[in-house]
């Protein structure tokens, strides 16, 4: 709980939880979903975000105050990090935990993501849960294992990118187990267990959306992110300009006013999506797969180059800047009545948050972490701690795959990579603590041997 409190310092410094435009949607969607589930009082619209995450945080805010959501994020994060540290460093766990958590909270963006009223922090928590379930299940009691599985499931259903990365990690771990063969036989069941959690998350999404909308789907009333992205990248625009005379696509009605940014496509008040009728929006969603595949067939090299450039930019972009909006105030009063005055007094509203300074601090912390891991990599390889190797595989896959999924399929945004980039300093800290623990154990062993030799010599005399 002390570590959790430490991780909330950005919200405490701000004087209010950190907000993003999507925060309002998550908070607002909880009550109508709850009314539909428990009172059979259905609504026409339940928002575009995860209904299960919105329902999960509802008991923590009750449309009164968002502070308990930050506390929930912090407690879940602190608890899972505790289990990770205990799995790798079973001796002096409490000391190692605080030696790791204090600089992690102060020098990385973990506290900023915890303090944000979004499910972003649950992504990193999920990937650490997968590490625990696959590489360190023997360190968990039955109650802890059930708790970790429950947290992992909720994190998967909280955001579609979490679900995509979890499924991809199951594939990666399966390939890793095939490569390791005999030494990894005991891990197959654990990977299968994680895959079952993924399937349970998918089933829950389909079931809930079938109940709410009358038809099963993974994302509900999802936005056409791929269409917006491929048009903004260029190849989608080129395809429409050259083929609209021969194909029937809803997007052809907008061929002469296509935007250069996914945000303008989706959110601009004068943009395509905001001004399209409900019927046109449904057509764009239905035709998205057809349109994207046709574009990729027509311009494979061009799109590949653009996508790789976006991936690389996202991989190296993890700033903490969160520009406030005047829209926040009106939306906040609508979902949390009476909270507007508290938000106006916050540093975020007054634009005095030290986000640029801590972005720089995080950047240099990540660079130092990569250098440290490079220096200690021979030690890790030589001693080949299976759990540390497993944590390394999970975190490196997470950082790379997250940049690919968000940068290529959505857009480049510092917030996306800030969700997970703090895992690299966490891993570097585990490297250093494992190395120090090994050194202290070696010194203690040598001292014990010297004492034994002295005692034997004294006895002989």
Rounded to whole angstroms, the Cα distance separating 105 from 116 reads 14
pTM over 0.85: yes
| Nearest CA among 124, 119, 132 for reference residue 194 | 132
Q: Residue 298: how many CA atoms within 13 Å on its side-chain side?
A: 17
- What are the tokens at 311? 């991936």
Rounded to whole angstroms, the Cα distance separating 152 from 158 reads 10
pLDDT tens for each residue of 205-230: 999 999 998 888 877 777 888 999 99
- As a whole number, the mean pLDDT across the chain is 89
Q: Is residue 439 over pLDDT 60?
A: yes
H or E, element range at 32: helix 21-39
- Predicted confidence at residue 185, as pLDDT, reads 61
Q: Is residue 20 part of a domain?
A: yes
Q: Is residue 434 part of a domain?
A: yes
3-state secondary structure of 455: helix
Q: Is residue 121 part of a domain?
A: yes
Q: Are 287 and 236 in contact (CB under 8 A)?
A: no
What residue numbers bound the domain in which 416 lies? 2-159+324-452
Helix/strand/coil percentages in the chain, nearest 5: 75, 0, 20
pLDDT tens for each residue of 394-403: 999 999 999 9
Rounded to whole angstroms, the Cα distance separating 51 from 35 reads 12
Q: In sequence order, which residues have a C-beta less than 8 Å from that of residue 122 and are 6 or more positions away?
A: 53, 73, 76, 154, 155, 158, 159, 162
Please count the structural domains in the chain. 1
- Secondary structure letter of residue 18 according to DSSP: B
**Pairwise pLDDT comparison (119 vs 275), residue with the higher score:** 119
- The partner residues of 116 in beta bridges, in order of sequence, read 18
pLDDT tens for each residue of 363-410: 999 999 999 999 988 887 777 678 888 899 999 999 999 999 999 988
Q: Is residue 36 part of a domain?
A: yes
Q: Is residue 229 part of a domain?
A: no
- Predicted confidence at residue 215, as pLDDT, reads 84
Q: Is residue 13 part of a domain?
A: yes
């Amino acid at each position: 709980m002390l570590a959790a409190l430490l991780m909330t310092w950005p919200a405490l410094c701000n004087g209010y939880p950190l907000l993003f435009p999507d925060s309002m949607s998550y908070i607002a969607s909880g009550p109508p979903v709850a009314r539909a589930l428990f009172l059979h009082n259905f609504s026409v619209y339940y928002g575009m975000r995860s209904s299960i995450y919105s329902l999960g945080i509802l008991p923590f805010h009750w449309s009164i105050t968002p502070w308990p959501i930050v506390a929930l994020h912090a407690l879940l994060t602190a608890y899972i990090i505790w289990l990770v540290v205990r799995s790798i460093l079973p001796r002096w766990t409490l000391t190692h935990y605080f030696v790791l958590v204090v600089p992690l909270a102060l020098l990385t963006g973990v506290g900023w993501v915890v303090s944000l009223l979004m499910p972003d922090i649950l992504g990193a928590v999920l990937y650490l849960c997968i590490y625990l379930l696959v590489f360190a299940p023997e360190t968990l009691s039955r109650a802890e294992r059930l708790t970790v599985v429950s947290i992992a499931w909720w994190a998967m259903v909280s955001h579609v990118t979490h679900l995509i990365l979890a499924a991809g990690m199951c594939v990666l771990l399966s390939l890793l187990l095939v490569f390791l063969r005999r030494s990894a036989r005991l891990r197959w069941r654990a990977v299968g267990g994680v895959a079952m959690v993924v399937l349970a998350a998918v089933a829950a999404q389909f079931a809930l959306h079938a109940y709410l909308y009358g038809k099963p789907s993974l994302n509900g009333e999802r936005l056409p992110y791929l269409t917006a992205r491929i048009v903004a990248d260029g190849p989608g625009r080129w395809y429409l300009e050259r083929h609209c005379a021969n194909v029937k696509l809803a997007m052809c009605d907008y061929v002469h006013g296509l935007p250069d940014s996914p945000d303008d496509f989706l959110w601009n008040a004068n943009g395509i999506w905001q001004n399209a009728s409900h019927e046109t929006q449904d057509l764009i969603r239905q035709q998205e797969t057809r349109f994207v595949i046709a574009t990729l067939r027509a311009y494979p090299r061009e799109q590949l180059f653009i996508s790789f450039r976006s991936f690389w930019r996202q991989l190296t972009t993890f700033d903490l800047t969160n520009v406030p909006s005047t829209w926040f105030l009106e939306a906040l009063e609508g979902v949390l009545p009476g909270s507007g005055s508290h938000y106006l007094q916050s540093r975020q509203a007054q634009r005095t948050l030290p986000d640029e300074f801590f972005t720089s601090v995080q950047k240099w912390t990540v660079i130092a972490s990569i250098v440290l891991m490079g220096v200690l990599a021979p030690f890790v390889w030589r001693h080949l701690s299976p759990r540390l190797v497993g944590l390394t595989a999970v975190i490196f896959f997470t950082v790379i795959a997250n940049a690919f999924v968000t940068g290529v399929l959505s857009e480049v945004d510092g917030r996306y990579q800030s969700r997970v980039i703090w895992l690299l300093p966490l891993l570097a800290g585990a490297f250093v603590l494992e190395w120090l623990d090994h050194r202290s154990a070696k010194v203690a062993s040598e001292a014990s041997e010297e004492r034994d030799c002295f005692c034997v010599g004294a006895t002989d005399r």
